[in-house]
Amino acid sequence: MPAKLSVWLLALRPKTLSISVIPVIVGSTLGWLQSGQLSISVMLAALLAAMLIQIGTNLHNDAADHVNGTDDPATRVGPPRAVAQGWLSAGQVERAALGSFMLAFVIGLYLIGVGGWPILVLGLLSIAAGYCYSGGPWPIARSGFGEVFVLLFFGIVAVSGSAYLQAAQFTPVAVLCGLLLGLPAGAVLVVNNHRDRASDARAGRKTLAVHYGPRASVYLYALGVLGPFAILPLVQHLTVATPVYYLPWLLVVWAARLLHRFAHISKAQAFNPLLAETGLFQLILGLLLSLALVAGRSLAVAH
C-alpha cells in the first residue's frame, strides 16, 4: 500500500485539477478588462472554491463507483482508485468529499457577499451538480450527460461566474470563452469514458461512449480539441482584434496531433497519458487566451 499522503493525493486526481483552475483565471481576466479593476482576494477565493468542488466531485466519484461496482481493480485500465484498491474506506472518502463541498460553500459565502444572489445560485448549482455527478437517484456519470455537465460547470458557469465577480455583469464573450474552455475539458471526460467503455457497459453505465461506440467518441473528441478554434474568431470579434490575439492559434497543430493519437490508440492503457495531456492542452489554451486578452487590450490602449 502506498503512503497515506500519496493515497489521498491519488484520490484527489491532481493531474486534472487544472480543469477547474483555468476557467476562473480566464473569467477573472475578462472581468478585470471589463471593469478596469482586479480583486486578487476574490479571484483566489473563486479558484479555491472551484478546486474544492472538483475535489469533492472526484472523491465522491471514487467512493460511489466502488459501491456501485463500477471500479474493479482486476479489470480497471485507468489509474487505480483508492477505495477500490482498499487503501481507503468508502466512508472516509465520502466524509472527505462532504468536507470539500462544505468548505467550498463557506468560501462561497464570501463570494456571495461580493456578487450577490447570482453567485448564490451558481454556487449552489455547482455544488449540487458536483454531488449529483456520482450520487442521487440518477447519477450524471452513469448517463450520457457527463460531457454536458463538464462543458457547463467547468466551462460556461466557471468563466461567466468568475467574470461576474470582477465586473458585476454577464456578457456574451464570457459565455463564449466558457464554451471555448469547456469543450477541451469535456474532451478529458471523453478520453476517460472511451477508455472505460467496456467496464462501464458491464456495470450498466450508459455513457455516450457505451451507447454510441468508438466512432462517436472520435467525433466528440475532435469537437473538444478543435471546436475552440471555431469559437476564437467570435471572441476576437467581441474584444480587441490585434495580432496578439492569434496566440491561442499556436496550439491548433497540437490539437490535431491529440486527435490523431486518440483515433489510433489500440491499447486502453495508452489513453491514460492522453487524458493528462488533454487537460494540459486546456490549461495552456486558457493561459494563452488570458495573455492574448491582456496584451490585446494593452496594445489597443497604447495606440
Residue-level pLDDT at 191: 96
pLDDT tens, position by position, 229-249: 999 999 988 886 666 678 899
Domain ranges of the chain: 4-302
CA distance 149 to 22: 17
Residue-level pLDDT at 242: 65
Q: Which parts of the chain register pLDDT below 50? A: 299-303
Residue-level pLDDT at 221: 98
Q: How many CA atoms lie within 13 A of 69 on its CB side?
A: 5
Residue-level pLDDT at 83: 79
Domain 4-302: CATH class, spelled out: mainly alpha
Nearest residue to 183 via CA among 129, 240, 231, 247: 231
CA distance 175 to 178: 5
Residue-level pLDDT at 299: 45
With beta carbons less than 8 A apart as the criterion, state whether 116 and 31 touch.
Answer: no
